[in-house]
A and B are shown apart, each in its own frame.
Chain A
Amino acid sequence: MIFEGKAWLFGDNIDTDAIIAARYLSTTDPKELANYLMEDIRPDFPSQVSAGDILVGGENFGCGSSREHAPLAIKGAGVSCVVARSFARIFYRNAINIGLPILECQEELSDLNNGSDLLKVDLEQGLVTHLRTGKIYKAEPFPPFMQDIINRGGLVEYVKSRINDLK
């Protein structure tokens, strides 16, 4: 899978309350959740982000609560991929399980303009390209088992295929 999109920059320890505040958790609809994405830390963000965009985080992206509404809100906004230096583990699991592409890139993406510069992300190769500077960053590739979940579009399809294999 290869994505190309505008990069939106976020700092370290972006928590799931920031991604989607608890007051919006009485719905499970990704499109509706997307209307409030990052609202408490960046009130204009829901109107700025558009389909295909890429979120770029620092360390420990998605820390805090286990709410799957967080990756769902990101997916609902049409974000194609999240690149971060590291992810909090429940967010990491959740993103893979719902088929939201993420990539852990230890190298800091430098000289990146928020909301204008374009990134190209190659998920299988684990490569992130800064299209303006041409610089290529190497990310952690997924273990084959997780790649398999991602390729099938999430955990539900993966488990279904395992159940069928057992029959």
Chain B
Amino acid sequence: MDNDNRTDYGSTMVEKILAVKAGKDKVVPGNLVNTKIDLALGNDITAPVAIKEFERFGIDKVFDPEKIVLVPDHFTPNKDIASAEQALLLRRFAEKYKIKHYFEIGRMGIEHALLPEQGLVRPGEVIIGADSHTCTYGALGAFATGVGSTDLAAAMVIGEAWFKVPSTLRFEYEGSLPKWLGGKDLILYTIGQIGVSGARYRAMEFAGPAIAALSMDGRLTMTNMAIEAGGKCGYIQPDQVTFDYLKGRVSVPYEPVYSDLNAAYEQVYRYDITNLEPQIAFPPSPDNVFPVSKAKGTQIQQVVIGSCTNGRIEDLRVAASVIKNKRVDPRVRLLVIPATQQIYRQALEEGLLTAFIDAEAVVSTPTCGPCLGGHMGILAKGERALATTNRNFVGRMGHPESEVYLSGPAVAAASAVAGKIVHPEEVL
């Protein structure tokens, strides 16, 4: 299993983090390691299963009540009795085991926007979450990966998890992003190039001038969708953008980790993105990606701007700048979902929410809601949506015969105004 011939090479960021947390000098891809974890996350869908499994251990304490995060964000504010019962399980568990980071409605946000914002994610850490988009935190230089509920249960008991050390794919983005494009376009383009299993079991390292120039919100969007390429994690090595973001949020010391210059990558991809068009993923797969011109004129009945992928303040600013003083096409329903309470408040103070409401959009409290077909905007048979979310599988947002197209916030806002998929320039 061990690639012994690689010991002359340096290590990637992920290999180094896993080695440190497993108490080893060096690990190489293929090694099985048991590591300490710095944070374990669950939500109102995955934690109830984890709590059931936790009870099977017959141990009446968690490994560290400060290192567990519980966020009821998927079916909340609760959509029905069954989901209310699930959320109640979390609340009771959090009370019983004195879980410090339990986020009740009103403080709650979509988990992968919330944790970085609250300073709970730091470079060099190992973070697991019973949610596939846990890979988001790689934008801050952490090793973060999605696991299942039983993994979460075991981690809550012993504070450890097992991993197979992944090999790493490096993606270098040359050039600078054209206007109206962001992290979403880069990651959709990448997934379109390598496919939904192109990074299966692997780490994805994002680098290059276009990444250096990308804001933290844009970076979080990119690493968020590493899972859509099958990736175990996606990450960006810490730089000044990272440290600026962490300032004022994180008070405990942390140790940034970097890939060695002679690190061994399984493969290096280089993309020049200077002439990239806004990218659209057509149904029913996130790798079914084309430039927006190919989707031009596609009629839509709903637009969703939000989710752990694109519900951050920068996304709302971009969308509001497109939609200000315009109106949503009367045949389209536009839902805007700020990802956290802090983002909601900031959008309010900046006048973004007024711009949305004046345009006749719906503005919702933070929730995953329609992204996974939970609530707050379910599609009927035959309906088509354009969303800034992350998945467009069959039935993802409602009826199995409804369809979801994926884009960044600028295209989404412009298309809501036009009533069909368009390039932002077309409505300005």
Contact (Cβ within 8 A) A13 B46:
no
Contact (Cβ within 8 A) B230 A22:
no
Chain B 272-299 interface mask (CB, 8 Å, partner A; 1/0):
0000000000000100000000000000
Contact (Cβ within 8 A) B197 A59:
yes
Contact (Cβ within 8 A) A23 B373:
yes
A66 part of interface (Cβ distance < 8 Å): yes
B329 → A minimal CB distance (Å): 28
A159 part of interface (Cβ distance < 8 Å): yes
Contact (Cβ within 8 A) A18 B149:
no
The interface residues of chain B lying within 8 Å CB-to-CB of A53 are: none
Contact (Cβ within 8 A) A159 B32:
no
B393 part of interface (Cβ distance < 8 Å): yes
Give the number of A-B contacts (CB < 8 Å): 135
A88 → B minimal CB distance (Å): 6
B168 → A minimal CB distance (Å): 15
A75 → B minimal CB distance (Å): 12
The interface residues of chain A lying within 8 Å CB-to-CB of B216 are: none
Cα–Cα, bound, A21→B196 (Å): 19
Whether A156 touches B48, Cβ cut-off 8 Å, given contacts A90-B148, A98-B150, is no
Among listed B80-88, B337-345, B414-422, interface-contacting one = B80-88
Contact (Cβ within 8 A) B149 A68:
yes
B235 → A minimal CB distance (Å): 16
Chain A 68-98 interface mask (CB, 8 Å, partner B; 1/0):
1101100000000000001011100110011
Cα–Cα, bound, A59→B196 (Å): 10
The interface residues of chain A lying within 8 Å CB-to-CB of B154 are: 97, 155-156, 159
9 nearest interchain CB pairs? Answer: A94-B148, A26-B82, A60-B197, A97-B150, A40-B395, A40-B400, A68-B148, A66-B132, A22-B372
7 more CB-based (< 8 A) A-B contacts, given A71-B148, A98-B148, A155-B153: A25-B75, A41-B394, A63-B230, A67-B46, A72-B49, A94-B151, A156-B57
